[in-house]
Every structure is written in structure tokens, then in C-alpha cells.
Amino acid sequence: MWYFPRVAAIASLIGLSACVSSYSAAKPKTPDNLIPVVNLPTEGSSQNLTRFLADLPESTPNRELLAQSWDSYRQRFIQSDGRVIDYEASDRSTSEGQAYALLRAVLINDPTTFALTLNWSENNLQRQAGGKRTDSLWAWKWGRKEDGNWGVIDNNFASDADIDTITALILASRRWHQPEYLELAKLKLQDLWNLSTISKTQGKRYLLPGPVAAFVPDASTVYLNPSYFAPYAFRIFAQVDPQHDWLSLVDSSYQVLEDSAKLSKVGLPSDWVALNTKTGQYQTLPASSTLKSLYSFDSYRVWWRLSLDAAWFNSPQAKSYLVTSTQHLQKLWSKQSSLPARIDLQGKPLVDYEATSQYAMLYAAMQVVEPAIAQELLVKKILPQYKQGIWGDQSAYYTQNLAWLGLLPPKAIPQRLLK
């Protein structure tokens, strides 16, 4: 299927990485003139807010904030047809953004927004070759083309988005008794396994960040993104797709996370790592690469993903990793009550600004291993950035998603959805 030359594939890889990395390229800025954008009809918004509140257990911390911020996000970032807009990147849409909307919608029990978002994505993010759909995964980037028309700009897929989408579909099928969502999830699982996993070192199977042509630059090297690993999702996938060994991805994910953390003098996860499949050794990516081996906006999500595995499936591996790999950040926090948004693998701060998205993802991890620090992060760094349904910059869709997902208690959703 991937007929383009390897040079083109690697160039496409660089663009694919921008799905997340564009948020870390420079210090976030607040526009001088913020343009309020209201996409979904606001009629009945108060009723929606009441409904969202009702679907969160009364014991849920920050319950009203979670309901209000989701309602605000729906209105500001999601069009009436279900397209999620990234205002910081030429009004583009990404599979990542669509997936976050699906996941948040099912977690807060919003079937209407879920259906709209899924419908737009299925109709507009189809991956095609020669005018025909090639598989059920989604092209990662959609926006204004050079000719002025709107459509798919990059036909590659990003596996983290497909993982979040499939997880959302399975949970939605259980929550709303919609078997068609499960059938679509199973279809996507076949393609995700076939197109985005690879068997290499000693027969181990690894999750790739996208297509083989882009992330396997030569016969002995594989590029991996630790923040894409979602052990909790792989456990759920194994429940509905016994034909494939999804639990093997749980094992390889933790192996990569634990072994690649040794690249960091302070044990931090990295945005990107390279695995030598002949020696089994991990390496940083070349300095000349657009993909960087450092702790930054990608790797924040490691904390959240493993916190879900710890909370939903009581994973001892998740708890052990979170205890060990957060030590440097815990020490920094205890010393200065702040964390730089980007840190190199030697532990040196690379910027003098902070990131609400990091604090929210780390909050989820600290809820598992150090609740006192979690509370400090919440009070000192996360809540002060929240105002009228928005965290910080009103155009920052990435921050809105990570802040909300980090604050939502994993046990706020019914346990029956996980089995």
C-alpha cells in the first residue's frame, strides 16, 4: 500500500510528528484579540450542563468544573457537524483531536456529540489510494490544501489517535448499548494490528506511531513514541478481539518505557526513542532529526496513560513506573514549586516557561503515587489557569484536552464499561 519512496515517507513522518509537537515549538502566547467561537448551538446549554453533572458521581472532585469545561469545549472547538478545530494551526483538524472528543464524550456520557464527531471523522478522514479507501484508520491531518480546497492533507495515520478512537468506540458500545460501535471498533482493530504493529527483537511485537514505511527507517531501527503506549487500551482490545495478542503489546510497552527511561540520567520518558532491533538497545534520535529525544509535550501523556492502567486494571507495572520515573519531577516540585515545560534527558531545563498540560497529566500520576503533590499541583497550577470553561489560552485545544483528561478521576466512569 505504501508505494511512495522512503525519502517521501520520512518527510511525511516529520509532518506526522507535528500532530503533537507543534504545541511545543515555542512558548505559548495569548493572542491580543481573542475571537469567541461558538460552533454548537447554545440553546439548551444549561440543560446540557445539568445533564453532564448528573452523569458524574457526586463524589467526583471538581465535578462542576469538568461538566462546565466539556460544555464550553463543545461550543468553542467543535462545529455543529462534529469537526474539531485546532485554531492554533490554521484551523486544521486532526485524528488526534477527533479522538479526544470521542473519548471525552463517552466518559461524560454525551452520545450526541459522540455521534456527530464520529460521523464527521468517518466521512472526512478516510485514507484513500486511487480514489478508493485503503483501510478503516483515519488520516491524521485535514485542512486547507494549497489549491484552497479543504480535505485530507496527509494520508498517514497516527496510531495514538486510532487507539483512543477504538477505546472510545468500545466504551460507547457498552455505555449506550450500540453494537454498531463495537463492530466498527473490531474493524479498526484489524487494521491497527496489521498496519501499526511490528514483530522484531526476539519475536516481540511493538506498537508503531504510524505506518511502517515512516517509522522503520532501516532494517535494524524502529522509531517509537512512548506516549502512544496505552496498556489499559490493549487490555480492553484483548477482551473484544481474541484473534490478536494485544496483551503482548502491554508487555512490550512496559519494556520500552522502562528500558528507554535509562537513556535519561534522571529517568524521564522521552518524546521519541530509537530501538536497535538487532541489539535490543535504545538510542536517542540523531540531533539532526526533527523528532527529538527529550521530555516535552508528547511524553506528558505517559503519566496519564499509565495512571489509567493503574486505576482501571490495578497494574503493578504502571505503579512501579510512575513511582520511579516521576522522582526527578517530584524533587523539582518540592524544591521550586514549578516545572519547566521541556527538560533534556540529563535533567537540564530547556525553557523558562511552564505548561498546564504537563501539570494535569502529572496530576493523574500523582493521584496514584503521591496524592499530596497531586493536590498541590491542582491548587497552585491547574485551577488558577481555569476561567469560564477554559484553561489559559482560549485557542489552545491541546491544553483543554489534556487538562480535562488529567483531572477526570479514572473511577468516575462505571466499572462495567471496562469489562
Q: Is 79 helix (H, G, I), strand (E, B) or coil?
A: coil
Helix (H, G, I), strand (E, B) or coil at 48: helix
Give phi and psi for 5, each to the nearest 5. Answer: -60, 155
Q: Across-strand partners of 78?
A: 84
As to burial, measured by CB atoms within 10 angstroms (0-12 exposed, 13-18 middle, 19+ buried), residue 127 is buried
For 214-226, the DSSP string reads HH--BTTEEEE-G
Contact 202, 280 (CB under 8 A): yes
164 is catalytic: no
96 counts as catalytic: yes
Cα 242 from chain centre = 25
Cβ neighbors of 44 (< 8 A, separation 6 or more) are none
The closest alpha carbon to 397, from 150, 164, 103, 76, belongs to 76
DSSP alpha helices (H): ranges in 55-178?
63-77, 95-107, 111-124, 159-175
Between CA 132 and CA 115 the distance in angstroms is 24
- DSSP states along 272-341: -EEEETTT--EEPPPTTSSS--SBSTTTHHHHHHHHHHHHHH--HHHHHHHHHHTHHHHHHHHHHS---S
Q: Say how far apart CA 189 and CA 192 lie, in whole Å.
A: 5
**List 71, 96, 298, 393, catalytic entry:** 96
Residue 255 CA neighbour count, 13 Å, CB half: 16
CB 345 within 8 A of CB 264: yes
Alpha-carbon Rg for the chain in angstroms? 20
* Given the residues 71, 86, 88, 160, the one annotated as active site: 160
Angle at alpha carbon of residue 102, lines to 96 and 108, rounded to 5°: 135
Active-site residues, by number, are 96, 160
